[in-house]
Amino acid sequence: MSGYNLQVKTAGFNYRVLIEENGLSRVGKSLRLLFPSTRTLLISDRTVYNLYGEVVLQSLVEQGWQVEVLSIEPGEQSKTLDQAARLYDAAVEAGLDRNSPVIALGGGVPGDLAGFVAATYLRGVPLVMLPTSLLAQVDSSVGGKVAVNHPRGKNLIGAIYPPGIVIIDPLVLKSLPGDQFQAGLAEVLKYGIVVDSSFFYWLEKHIIELLKAEPSALAGAISGSVKAKAAVVEQDEYENNYRRVLNFGHTIGHALEAATNYNYYLHGEAVLIGMFAAVDMAETLAVLNDKQGGRIRNLLDQILLKKPPAGLTAEAVIDKLRQDKKRREDDLIFVLPKEIGEAAIMPVNDRVLIKEVIENYLNKH
Ligand SMILES: NC(=O)c1ccc[n+]([C@@H]2O[C@H](COP(=O)([O-])OP(=O)(O)OC[C@H]3O[C@@H](n4cnc5c(N)ncnc54)[C@H](O)[C@@H]3O)[C@@H](O)[C@H]2O)c1
Ligand SMILES: [Zn+2]
């Protein structure tokens, strides 16, 4: 088994990302070396806790940690201030002090919620990320964005609060439902397309093994993704400019999620469609040549494209695009690939073109 020991360094923070099979059974020891405390609060969702809670708990207890456990209902509806308030109560009950880590075991929902609590409780306690969905392993656990939702919008209340350590066990992906896995893969491909061309070529070579969830291919894909994300975050942690490159596929992706009330597409499924649309746009605007565009499409084609729901129109998606919080005044901002591994962040105001690329997707089915 080959593991990876990566490092993320930003102005104020420096943390490790360990990618290793059965890494969850060694959590207690890793934390013992890092944090001078004996208490911790472990936050998970019920599904993930039933699967992996015991292994993590045992490794912590063996190393002398006193652990308070709190499981939330799985799903986006748990990412609220109400749930955060429950967790603050648990943190007080558990007697956490400034050196006591809050541990997030699960996908992006427990990660973002526990991260938000870690960022704010006692003005910040150490945060440990044990991501178990592919999306969380390659995206949400690294980079420091933590948040809860507001009834008026997703992730409206949050902070940039990097973790103290991230421990990723690729073997836990065995139990991840297939659609969640494919949705996570969309974000993996994103890094190859707009951040790192050598990772793109690696993905072309290993996509079949990846689709079969072969452990060494998975570890390679997770490590390539984390390295790419780290490289972006190290340059622009606060998303002043370059970090927005990671929104490739997300402009139309978010609009599709919103137009379907967040209950039809998984996030990565919508991002996959958004990436196709951005490639179409980039070619039409001559930002990207057809040869490279074709190569990107071939890779994206390996992931299942979700059909649109009956009745979805391009107009409905465009309405939501206009409400996108990342738009500047009247300009809609898109991330368009320029060549493999590089993208332009640019306004596109050609409504006809935007409509056309959305219709390209709607008419495919
Ligand atoms: N902070 C960031 O930078 C960032 C980036 C991207 C997304 N996000 C956030 O992440 C969230 C989405 O993340 P997600 O897709 O991981 O959601 P999630 O945490 O809801 O997990 C998805 C589902 O998979 C289940 N699951 C997770 N790991 C499993 C495993 N190993 N085996 C079986 N089931 C498992 C969960 O119980 C859940 O039902 C959103 O709230 C989004 O806003 C944050
Ligand atoms: Zn995303």
> Mean pLDDT for the chain?
95
Confidence of residue 11 (pLDDT cuts 50, 70, 90): confident
pTM, 2 dp: 0.96
Domain ranges of the chain: 4-172, 178-362
Quote the ligand 2 centre to 136 CA distance (angstroms): 10
Residue 262 class from Cβ within 10 Å (0-12 exposed, 13-18 middle, 19+ buried)? middle
Give, in words, the CATH class of 4-172. Answer: alpha beta
Quote the ligand 1 centre to 188 CA distance (angstroms): 15
What pLDDT does 364 receive?
Answer: 86
Tens of pLDDT along 209-238? 999 999 999 999 999 999 999 999 999 988
What pLDDT does 323 receive?
Answer: 80
Which atom of ligand 1 is closest in space to residue 145's alpha carbon? 1
205 is a catalytic site residue:
no
What span, in angstroms and rounded, lies between the C-alpha atoms of 210 and 243?
26
What span, in angstroms and rounded, lies between the C-alpha atoms of 131 and 27?
12
247 is a catalytic site residue:
yes
Query: Ligand 1 pocket test: which of 112, 127, 246, 250 has the largest number of ligand atoms within 8 Å of its C-beta?
Result: 112
Name the percent of the chain lying above pLDDT 90: 93
Please name the CATH architecture into which domain 178-362 falls. Answer: Up-down Bundle (1.20)
Tens of pLDDT along 100-123? 999 999 999 999 999 999 999 999
Nearest ligand to the C-alpha of residue 145?
A: 1
Q: 47 in ligand 1 pocket by Cβ < 6 Å?
A: yes
For 163, residues 6+ apart whose C-beta sits below 8 A from its C-beta are: 15, 115, 126, 127, 128, 129, 141, 142, 144
Nearest ligand to the C-alpha of residue 112?
A: 1
Query: Is the distance from CB of 332 to CB of 345 less than 8 angstroms?
Result: no
Q: Whose CA is nearest to atom 20 of ligand 1?
A: 75
Q: 108 in ligand 1 pocket by Cβ < 6 Å?
A: yes
Q: 74 in ligand 1 pocket by Cβ < 6 Å?
A: yes
Q: 20 in ligand 1 pocket by Cβ < 6 Å?
A: no
Neighbours of 60 (CB within 10 A): 21
Query: Is the distance from CB of 107 to CB of 168 less than 8 angstroms?
Result: no
What pLDDT does 322 receive?
Answer: 85
What pLDDT does 26 receive?
Answer: 96
Q: 106 in ligand 1 pocket by Cβ < 6 Å?
A: yes
Instruction: Compute the average pLDDT of residues 43-60.
Output: 98
Name the percent of the chain lying above pLDDT 70: 98
Query: Ligand 1 pocket test: which of 46, 137, 160, 180 has the largest number of ligand atoms within 8 Å of its C-beta?
Result: 180
Give the three-state DSSP class for 342.
strand
Instruction: Compute the average pLDDT of residues 2-19.
Output: 92
What span, in angstroms and rounded, lies between the C-alpha atoms of 322 and 305?
24
Q: 80 in ligand 1 pocket by Cβ < 6 Å?
A: no
Tens of pLDDT along 295-326? 999 999 999 999 999 999 999 999 999 886 55
Nearest to 27 by CA among 154, 151, 168, 159: 168
Q: Whose CA is nearest to atom 33 of ligand 1?
A: 176
Instruction: Compute the average pLDDT of residues 134-161.
Output: 96
Q: 112 in ligand 1 pocket by Cβ < 6 Å?
A: yes
Quote the ligand 2 centre to 243 CA distance (angstroms): 12
Instruction: Compute the average pLDDT of residues 254-270.
Output: 96
Tens of pLDDT along 328-365? 556 799 999 999 999 999 999 899 999 999 999 999 87
Q: Return the H-helix or E-strand segment holding 129.
A: strand 127-131
